[in-house]
Amino acid sequence: MRIFSRRSARTLAPSALFAVLAAAGVQAAAQSADAAPQRAAAITACTTAHMKVTVSPVTRPINHLLLKATNTGTKACYAYGAPFLRAGADAQAPLAWDEDSVPQSVVTLAPGKSAYAGISTSTPDGEGGYKAKTLGVLFSNRALNGSVGPEKTLKLPHHGVYFNSAATVGYWQSSIGQALFG
């Protein structure tokens, strides 16, 4: 591509100058478009393999826990959807996802950053119930139809937590406030 000096740009007709600048813009846009898939491909789904995951009790709202996942890896990752949680070693199915907690975008975790998910353990409307001593955690894949990476098993606080059929887990959020209070 030919480089024009400031002096030569003044002598060009406006339409010729526009054509030169437009061609440069198209070339720059094509280079950016070529580079974009490479950058996007570098970020993968978060997994427990490169995350520190903790669960802790909260005072408000009642019957809730807070799940925190911190990226301990060297690359950014996406925390898609909500975690798949298995409350207790004998759980037959993961907790339902709270569809009212869907964030505006996927949470991206740079190294050292955290994502949060609120867990509602029970409500008066729920049926049945049991005390679980462990919580199995898996991260969701991009399609939100399965998990990625190995399961991490956490000990629940207070030597166990009561769960009933109304238990849900919220989508990953970038702040504690969003995870617990929407």
Strand partners, 125: none
Q: What angle do CA 118, 121, 122 make, to 5 degrees?
A: 130
118 with 169: CB under 8 angstroms?
yes
The model's pLDDT over 154-174, given as tens digits with 9 standing for 90+, comes to 999 999 999 999 999 999 999
- Could you tell me which residues come within 8 angstroms of residue 107 by beta carbon, excluding any fewer than 6 positions away? 78, 79, 115, 172, 173, 174
Query: pLDDT over 90 for what percent of the chain?
Result: 73
d(CA 107, CA 103): 8
Question: Are residues 155 and 133 in contact, defined by beta-carbon separation less than 8 angstroms?
Answer: yes
Peptide bond preceding 94 in cis form (omega within 30 of 0): no
Q: So what's the pLDDT on residue 41?
A: 54
Q: What does the block give as tokens for 63?
A: 């019957």
User: pLDDT tens-digit profile of 115-160?
Assistant: 999 999 999 999 999 999 999 999 999 999 999 999 999 999 999 9
pLDDT at position 154, please?
98
In the numeric block, which tokens belong to residue 180?
């617990």
The pLDDT score that the predictor gives to residue 182 is 78
pLDDT confidence tier of residue 7, bands split at 50, 70 and 90: very low
pTM as predicted: 0.77
CA-to-CA separations, 25 to 14, 29, 31, 32, 34, in angstroms, rounded: 16, 6, 10, 10, 14
DSSP state of 142: T
Beta bridge partners of 44: 77
pLDDT > 70 in the chain, percent: 77
pLDDT digits (tens, 9 = 90+) for 60-87: 999 999 999 999 999 999 999 999 999 9
Query: Which pLDDT score, from 0 to 100, does residue 102 have?
Result: 95
Other Cβ atoms within 10 Å of 87 Cβ, number: 25
Task: Give the separation between CA 151 and CA 108, rounded to whole angstroms.
Answer: 20
